[in-house]
Amino acid sequence: MVANGKDDGQSAPGEGLPVDKVRNLVRDIKEHAQSLEEAAHAEELEGHVARIETELAREEPHHATLASLLDGLRGLSVEANQVLVKSGAMTLLNEILGTGVPPTGP
């Protein structure tokens, strides 16, 4: 991060976030609308996605805000997260946030 003209070697949270991939993530989640409607916590997930869309609609989305909202997706209820996993959106989310893909199976 650059402060007072000096680079301290640290990045701001969300700096360099791939906004196009975030848009793809939102599109992927919304494309699975049937799954969302079947999920017990669809409203929870849809509300969170709406907040991400609001930030993406800004002329210059604030990367730290987007990173925080994306990280919040992982903190949603188990049921809402199952929708993300089933749709493949969790894999893209982990890629965007640089957290890797969690292991699946036994």
Give the separation between CA 83 and CA 64, rounded to whole angstroms: 25
* Residue 22 counted as domain residue: yes
* Residue 59 counted as domain residue: yes
C-alpha to C-alpha distances, 67 to 31, 55, 64, nearest whole angstrom? 22, 11, 5
* Residue 60 counted as domain residue: yes
Average pLDDT per 10 consecutive residues for the chain, totaling 106 residues:
42 71 90 63 84 95 93 82 82 84 50
N-terminal to C-terminal alpha carbon distance within the chain: 41
**What is the largest distance, in Å, between two alpha-carbon atoms of the chain?**
52
* Residue 103 counted as domain residue: no
Q: Model confidence over 11-34: pLDDT tens digits?
A: 454 567 899 999 999 998 887 756
* Residue 4 counted as domain residue: no
pTM over 0.95: no
* Residue 3 counted as domain residue: no
Integer-rounded Cα Rg, in Å, for the chain is 15
Contact predicate 83/31, CB 8 Å: no
* Residue 38 counted as domain residue: yes
Domain count, the chain: 1
* Residue 12 counted as domain residue: no
> What range does the domain containing 52 cover?
17-96
